[in-house]
Amino acid sequence: MERLAEAGYWFLYIGIELTVLFLVVTFLVGIVRAYVTPERSKAVLERYGKGLRGNVLGAGVGGLLPFCSCSTIPMLVGLLGAGVPFGIAMSFLIASPLNVFNLVVITLFATLFGAKVAVAYSAATFVAAVVAGIALERLGLAHYVRELAPAGGAGGCGCSCGCAVAGATPLGRWERIRPVLTQAWRFAWDLFRSMLPYLLGGVAVGALIHGFVPEAFFVRYAGPDNPFAVPVAAAIGVPMYVSTSTLIPIASALVAKGVSLGTVMALIIGGAGASIPELALLWRLFHKRLFVAYIVTVFLIACAIGYLFNALAPVL
């Protein structure tokens, strides 16, 4: 009963805290969406997307806007069709699902792991997206993109990411603040309702881990002394279809039980960077060589950042 009470307390405390944070931060994101639209972002990349600056912009746009795979892939097709260099489009593609600068994800990280971890996550994933885009282009993989018309996104995809809401018609710059706030709240509430089962599911799993699983188990198999824990976590994460918002509460419980910070980062990055819906869409867009290269890239990024966080754990 003591363990059950501890798990219940953890569930209520973390669940309420994350619910409030999710609504507040998503409301702010909704305001940003009114003015920073995918169309404007695409125009910026088309105009300034050249060289290293273009990779930085691609990773920045992909990491900032609240896209899911069902809106990221059509925009990727649009970027490539508009003549944006392949490497820049890849930086965008890699940064987008990792939520590099997503306020919701960064706030969750900062709340559960601390501000230093949140900043380190954004910095590491951003640099990884820039470097990966450059590397994929220099490997000559631009020729392995199929020519397809943009698909998906219209009318929503039925997934758990709230993209049906995100695809709503954006507000114009000169509209009054009241409609902007109303639209932002609707966006926040609808996205919250669609994500609530997954958010609470992640909190529930974290509560069970926190209350019932012995620390010795995780320390033995996934602690900092196990050098294979990071690649195993990355390999497990890649085929998973679990949102970052769901994984973060679970990761918090795992770290509290002795799992190394780098191991949970590898799990989060692997799961976010190569979800099954995204890979299904990319299979239609990429030839086999590029498709495999993308999966390997996400896996290597997850491993590299995992080992980096293990090395930086004493100062984080």
**Residue pLDDT, tens place only, 39-88:** 666 677 767 667 788 899 889 888 877 555 556 777 787 778 777 889 99
Helix (H) or strand (E) holding 261: helix 261-273
Higher pLDDT pick, 213 / 258? 258
Q: Residue 153 and residue 274: Cα distance in Å, rounded?
A: 18
pLDDT for residue 168 is more than 90: no
Domain boundaries, the chain: 2-315
Reported as a pLDDT band with limits 50, 70 and 90, residue 293 is very high
In 36-70, which positions are buried (b, 16+ CB within 10 angstroms) versus exposed (e)? Answer: bbbeebbeebeeebeeeebbbbbbbbbbbbbbbbb
Answer yes or no: pTM beyond 0.85. Answer: no
pLDDT for residue 143 is more than 50: yes
Average pLDDT over residues 208-225: 57
Reported as a pLDDT band with limits 50, 70 and 90, residue 25 is low
Q: What is the pLDDT of residue 141?
A: 93
Specify the range with the lowest mean pLDDT, choosing from 174-183, 190-199, 211-220. 211-220
Specify the range with the lowest mean pLDDT, choosing from 125-134, 190-199, 268-277. 190-199
